[in-house]
Structure 1
Amino acid sequence: MKARTAAMAATTAVLCLAAVACGPDGKASDQDGGKDAGATAKASGTPAPDPAASDSAAPSPTSTPTSSGKVLDKAGLAGIALATGEVGTYEVTPMQGGEESGTERSENKDCGPLVAVINGAPEPAPAATVFRTVMDKSEEGKDDQTVVTEILTSHPEGGAQQLMRGVRDAVRACAGGFRTSGEDGPSTYTEVKQLPLPPAGQESIAYQVTGSIEGDKVPLLFQLVRTGSTVVTFYVADFVTAKTPQLPAELVAAQAAKLP
C-alpha cells in the first residue's frame, strides 16, 4: 500500500470527498486507490453511539458560553481559528485548495445539508469561510497520523442556527443512507448515525456518514459546533478500517473556546 502524505489527505478529504472516497458506482476514482489516499487518517475505537444521546448536546444553562453575536468577515474568522502551539503538538495550516467546493448533489432533498458539509460548503451560504488543516506533529511519518479538517463559517440573520437545524434534521431523516450525483458520477453512502461526542459551544452535533471504497466501508466523522453566528465544522476520516475515526476532544474544546 502506498501511503500519501497527511497534508494531501487533508486537502482532498472534504473538497473531493465523494469523488475520492466513493467515485462512480462506489469505486475509488483516485489512480492510486481510495485506501491509499486515506491511509494517513486516524483510526481508533471511538465508543459505539448511544441512541439516547442528545442530538444537540449543548452545555447546561449555567455553563453555556456567552456570544457577541458578531458576524465575522474572513479576517475575523482567521483571527479566531486555532493556531500552531495552542494545543499540544498540533500544527495548524491554511488548507490547500480550500476555496474550491465539491460538486456532489443529493438525490434526496432531505439529505442535502449532509452533502453540503461533505462538499466543504455548509448551507445556508455563509458570509465568510476559512479552512484549516490540523495535524499532530508528534505522529509525523506514521500512516495513521491524526489529520483534522476545520471549516469556520460565519452566518447573518440566524443562518448559523439554520445550518445546525438542517444538519440535525438530515441526520435523523437519512439514517438509512443516501445517494449523490456529481461530475464523477453517482456515489452511495450507506448509513448516517449520530455520535455521543462531548458537547461544545452553545450548540453541537456529531455524526458519522459511511461511504465505500470498492465495497469497503469508509467512516467519515463530522462534528459541528456553534456559538452565536459562527459555526466550526470538524472532519476526520478513516479510509482503512471500518472503525469510527477519532476526533481529538482537546482540539474541539480549544476551538470552541475561541468562538465569539
Structure 2
Amino acid sequence: MSTGTAGRARRIVMVAAAVALTAGVTTGCEGDDKAEGDAKKPVKESASATPPEATPSNGVPPEASDPPVPPDAERPSTGKTLTKAELTQAALVTGDVPNYVVTPMQGGEETGTEKADKPDCRPLAAVINGAPEPAASAAVYRTIVDKREEGNEKQTVVTTILTSHTGGSADAVLKSVRTAVEACAGGFTTHGGDGGASTYSEVKKLPTQKVGDDAIAYQVTGAVDGAKVPLVFHVVRRGATVATFYTANFVDAETPEIPAVLVQKQSAKLP
C-alpha cells in the first residue's frame, strides 16, 4: 500500500478523525501530513486522570477501560429493507453508549474506488472503499470516538457504515466477505481510479462477536513506506441491514481494536 494509497484506504477513518477534533478529542499525528492526522490504535488512556507512575507499561489505565457488558438480548429482526431515514434512526447516537461520542461523518459520504486484481478479493476491496457489495439501496455513515481519550496521542476512531439491502443481498455481503477472507489470506493488490496501486500483504480472520444474524471480523494488512498498517473490520448482518465497523492503526503494527460494546449496541438497535 503506497503512501498515496494509504490516503485512499483511510479516507473514511480520517474524516472521522476530523470529527474527533470538533468533539474535543486531540488527534495525534503520524506520517507525511501532520495536519491530516491518522487513524489510531485504540488505547484506553487518560493522561489527565492518571499520573505517569500509575499508568501500566502498556499505557492503558484500568479505570479508562470499558466495563464488561452482558450481551443485549436481540429481538428477532423484522427483515425489512430500511430507507435512509430509517437507517439514520437506527444508527447509534451520543448517549447510547457511555463515554462515546457519535457524529455524522464530515466531508460527505464519498466512497473509494479501489478494485482488487483477484476477483475473489473484490468483496474486501469494496468494504475498504466503504461500499460493501452487493450494492446497498441506502447507506449512512457515522464516526465514533472515545471522549475519555481527550489529549492523548493515540485515540479510538471507529467508522460505522449502515447499509440496507434488498432481495437477500445482505446475506450475500457476509457470505462473499467470509469467502474472500479465506481465499485472500496471502494478500492481494488493488488499483484505484487514479491508476495508483495498493498492496495488501495478509488477510486474517479475527475473533468475532456473536451478534446479529451473522458476523465476521478480520484484518487486512497494508503498508506505508515499508511499515505495516493493519486495517480491522467487523461486519454484522441483522435482517436486511449490514453494519460495518472499521478502524486502522497507522502508528505501529499492532492490531487495533473495535470496542465490543459499540458492535453489540449497534446490532441491538437495528430493527
TM-score (norm 2): 0.76
Counterpart mapping for 1:1-260 below 5 A: 12-13=12-13, 31-32=32-33, 37-38=37-38, 40-42=40-42, 65-182=75-192, 183=194, 185-260=196-271
How many residue pairs are counted as aligned between the two chains? 220
The SS at the match of 1:37 is: coil
- Report the Cα distance in structure 1 between the residues aligned to 2:142 and 2:10, rounded to whole angstroms: 9
CA drift of 1:172 comes to 0.5
Given residue 33 of structure 2, which amino acid in structure 1 is its aligned partner? D
Contact 1:208/1:219, CA 8 A, preserved across alignment: yes
3-state DSSP class of the match of 2:263? helix
Are 1:98 and 1:131, in contact at CA under 8 Å, matched by a contact in 2? no
Partner SS state of residue 175, structure 1: coil
Tell me how far 1:198 sits from its aligned partner. 1.9
Look up the match of 1:3. Answer: none
TM-score, scaled relative to structure 1 = 0.79
Query: Which consecutive residues of structure 2, in runs of 5 or more, have no partner in the other structure?
Result: 1-8, 16-30, 45-57, 59-72
| Aligned-residue offset at 1:184 | 5.4
Q: 1:221 to 1:43 in 2, by over 3 A?
A: farther
CA distance in 1, matches of 2:142, 2:39: 20
CA, structure 1 residues 107+10, in 2 after alignment: closer, same or farther (shift >3 Å)? closer
Contact 1:104 1:119 in 2 (8 A): yes
- Tell me by how many angstroms 1:41 deviates: 3.8
Q: 1:70 corresponds to which letter in structure 2?
A: K
Kindly state the Cα deviation for residue 13 of structure 1 after the two structures are TM-superposed. 2.7
Following superposition, the deviation at residue 138 of structure 1 comes to 1.1
Q: Is the 8 A contact 2:14 2:37 kept in 1?
A: no
Question: More deviation in 89-98 or 106-115?
Answer: 89-98
Amino acid at match of 1:151: I
Amino acid at match of 1:244: T
Q: Which has the larger radius of gyration?
A: 2
Q: Give the aligned residue type for 2:269.
A: K
Alpha-carbon offset, residue 78 of structure 1: 0.4
Give the aligned CA root-mean-square deviation in angstroms.
2.3
Query: Quick one: distance in 2 between partners of 1:237 and 1:173?
Result: 22
* Aligned residues of 1:236 and 1:245 also touching (Cα < 8 A): yes
User: Is the CA contact 1:148–1:234 (under 8 Å) kept in the aligned structure 2?
Assistant: yes
Shift in Å, 1:65? 4.4
Q: Considering Cα pairs closer than 8 Å and 6+ residues apart, tell me whether 1 or 2 has the greater RCO.
A: 1
| 1:43–1:244 contact (8 Å) kept in structure 2 | no
